[in-house]
Amino acid sequence: MITWEFLLDFGSFRDLQRHRKGVCRIPKLTVKYGFESWYLDQLSPEIKEEAENLLREIESDIVELGDGLEVQYYIPMGYKIPCKNTYGLMATVYITELRSGKTVHPTMRKIAQGMYERLMEKFPNLKLYTDLSEDEFSYKRGGQDIIEKK
């Protein structure tokens, strides 16, 4: 069994949480770890400044709301949360290979590539088919969805 601990934005966490071959704890949402900068870096400077101002307002509102569980519904999905996931080796290999592809969200892809690096340190003879290439824009990401096949 391998336990992984990392910070990940809640949106990408929801994608990772779908893997059932292990334990993926659901943390309490918080603004404590900040908003994932990847999202803000995609914006023009003017819109980025506007978004940062809005996030400051949201954080202020959250402090005023207190610490009740209902506050979690107010926190945008781009905020980072602490993840603690435990998988067997085969499940870890599967997640590392699957979530390193170019069609995976860049924040999750970075985690999967980091998992690959740690695995190679610990198990240098392990054969993995992990995509370690740089991120690039892909139209394929926009076409992916979970829908019923007819």
**What pLDDT digit, counting tens, does each position of 114-141 carry?**
999 999 999 999 999 999 998 876 666 5
69-115: pLDDT as tens digits: 888 889 999 999 999 999 999 999 999 999 999 889 999 999 999 99
pLDDT range class, residue 15, cuts 50, 70, 90: confident
Predicted confidence at residue 72, as pLDDT, reads 87
Query: Is residue 56 predicted with pLDDT exceeding 80?
Result: yes
- 112 Cβ partners below 8 Å, 6+ apart? 95, 96, 97, 98, 99, 100, 104, 130
Counted domains in the chain: 1
Would 124 be classed as within a structural domain?
A: yes
What is the spatial order of strands in the sheet that 22-24 belongs to?
Answer: 2-9, 80-87, 22-24
Would 95 be classed as within a structural domain?
A: yes
Would 128 be classed as within a structural domain?
A: yes
Would 143 be classed as within a structural domain?
A: no
Predicted confidence at residue 117, as pLDDT, reads 97
Structure tokens that stand for 18 in this block:
């779908």
Q: Is 117 helix (H, G, I), strand (E, B) or coil?
A: helix
Would 66 be classed as within a structural domain?
A: yes
Would 149 be classed as within a structural domain?
A: no
Predicted confidence at residue 26, as pLDDT, reads 87
CATH of the domain at 117: 3.30.1360.170
Among 47-51, 63-67, 77-81, name the one with the lowest average pLDDT: 63-67
Q: Which domain holds residue 18?
A: 2-136
Would 141 be classed as within a structural domain?
A: no
**Average pLDDT of the segment spanning 21-48:** 93
Would 51 be classed as within a structural domain?
A: yes
Kindly tell me the sign of the dihedral angle through the C-alpha atoms of 62, 64, 67, 71: negative
Determine phi and psi for 79, rounding to 5 degrees: -75, 145
